[in-house]
Amino acid sequence: MVAGSPRVSAATDSDIRVGVRTRSLSESRLRYIRQLGATDIFVDHVDTEEEPDEFNDRDGANTVAVGRNSIPSVEELEAARERVESHGLSLTGIQSLPYSLYGDIMFGREGKKEALEQIQRLIHNLGEVKIPILGYQWNPRGVVPMRTTPVELRGGAAGTAFDLNEIDNPDALAPALDRTYEEEEFWANYEAFLEEVIPVTEEAGIQMALHPVDPPVFESMGGIPRLFRNVENFERAMNLVPSDNHGLKLCLGCFSQMGENANEVVRRFAERDQIVFIHFRDVVGTVPKFHETFVDEGNFNTVEVIKTLDDVGFEGAIIPDHVPKIEGDDDWRHRARGFTVGYLRGVVDTIRYE
């Protein structure tokens, strides 16, 4: 699956490109990313429903707002793309759909028709300005914390962690519902969603990319199924409405948390041509207890995984996802992100010239 080829001359000769996810599209942020040698930008939108104060405090030109009743226009997306390209970078995708857009569809609630129409409009607009990727997930909010108490990594760096033993009553964390939901009901709602949006992606010429649940624990919590918790469920998802325009936002960290072999997962989905782009991170341990770490540590061997990506002919972006917090980092963890970009670029180039 050739996903999101850069539309500017910033890319290296390698088929594997190193990108960055960023909410800010400020001049200084884009200059920094270009200085790192990354090529692809995946914008972390501001959700206007979940984060109204943060969005209202921002210069609209420095980010992209996506939310219920707030779909960026063709003109707004074009301006964002031109801003990114002016720094020798490619605006390759929107990192993820916000929950405010897909929540009613997931639960089959009133308002799902309007939400579908807005997602379809977003897809059309992305296609119009040739931003080729829309990431998404299918996870309810407020079910379980993504992380618990942080851990100390080498040299005193801070890494996020998850330990189920720190959560006294997981079901109590679920949002208040008037009933419980069966897993097959959630699958039916998900399939109906795909039937509505996948034809639109094919018409618009963009790809949608599904992310796992994080952390991948429990089949259901508080009456809410957690579908994308294992490899088998991803295979089922890809088979529901088969399309070259639908694939995986392959989060290596999530599959590592599941206890899966990263190289085998890459080969499994690459042979089906179903990897759109990759979140490149790793953890130590597996559910129910793990912690995130540097890209050169963890359950899998980064060099071997990139060799596997090269071997299967992956053409697309690998992007640092969660990174540790190191000395002197800002809230975006710019130093740790810079280290990760540099490390990944070094490994990619070394393998390319072998």
**Does residue 93 sit within a domain?**
yes
**Does residue 8 sit within a domain?**
no
In angstroms, how far is the first alpha carbon of the chain from the final one?
24
Q: Which of 74, 75, 93, 71 is nearest to 7 (CA)?
A: 93
Backbone angles phi, psi at 284, to 5 degrees: -110, 125
**Does residue 9 sit within a domain?**
no
Q: Determine the pLDDT at residue 143.
A: 57
**Does residue 3 sit within a domain?**
no
As a whole number of angstroms, the distance between CA 17 and CA 34 comes to: 13
> Which tokens hold the place of 197?
């949006």
Where residue 63 falls among pLDDT bands split at 50, 70, 90? confident
| Interval 7-15 mean pLDDT | 45
> Which tokens hold the place of 107?
């639960």
Given a cut of 60, whether residue 57 has pLDDT beyond it is no
Cβ atoms of 122 and 134 within 8 Å: the answer is yes
How many domains is the chain partitioned into structurally? 1
> Taking the C-alpha atoms of 71, 77, 78 and 79 in order, what is their torsion angle to the nearest 10 degrees?
110
> Which tokens hold the place of 96?
């993820």
Q: The domain that contains 231 carries what CATH number?
A: 3.20.20.150
pLDDT in tens, 212-249: 999 998 898 878 899 999 999 999 999 999 999 999 99
pLDDT in tens, 280-305: 999 999 999 999 999 999 999 999 99
Where residue 7 falls among pLDDT bands split at 50, 70, 90? very low
**Residues sharing a CB contact under 8 Å with residue 238, sequence separation 6 or more, in sequence order:** 246, 247, 248, 269, 272, 274
As a whole number of angstroms, the distance between CA 37 and CA 39 comes to: 6
In a 13 Å sphere around the CA of 65, the CA atoms on its Cβ side amount to: 21
As a whole number of angstroms, the distance between CA 199 and CA 234 comes to: 20
Q: Determine the pLDDT at residue 2.
A: 41
Phi-psi domain of 223 (left: phi exceeds 0; alpha: psi -120 through 50; beta: other): left
**Does residue 1 sit within a domain?**
no
As a whole number of angstroms, the distance between CA 89 and CA 18 comes to: 11
The boundaries of the domain holding residue 84 are 16-352
pLDDT in tens, 75-112: 999 999 999 999 999 999 999 999 999 999 999 999 99
**Residues sharing a CB contact under 8 Å with residue 68, sequence separation 6 or more, in sequence order:** 48, 49, 98, 100, 101, 115, 118
pLDDT in tens, 107-144: 999 999 999 999 999 999 999 999 999 999 998 875 56
CB burial of 72-82 (b: ≥16 within 10 Å; e: otherwise) equals beeebbbbbbe
Q: Determine the pLDDT at residue 170.
A: 73
Degrees (nearest 5) of the Cα angle 352, 307, 160? 115
pLDDT in tens, 303-335: 999 999 999 999 999 999 999 999 999 999 999
| Interval 139-150 mean pLDDT | 78
**Residues sharing a CB contact under 8 Å with residue 199, sequence separation 6 or more, in sequence order:** none
> Which tokens hold the place of 56?
């209202």
**Residues sharing a CB contact under 8 Å with residue 116, sequence separation 6 or more, in sequence order:** 105, 193, 196, 197
Q: Determine the pLDDT at residue 45.
A: 81
CB burial of 190-200 (b: ≥16 within 10 Å; e: otherwise) equals bebbbebbbeb
Where residue 188 falls among pLDDT bands split at 50, 70, 90? very high
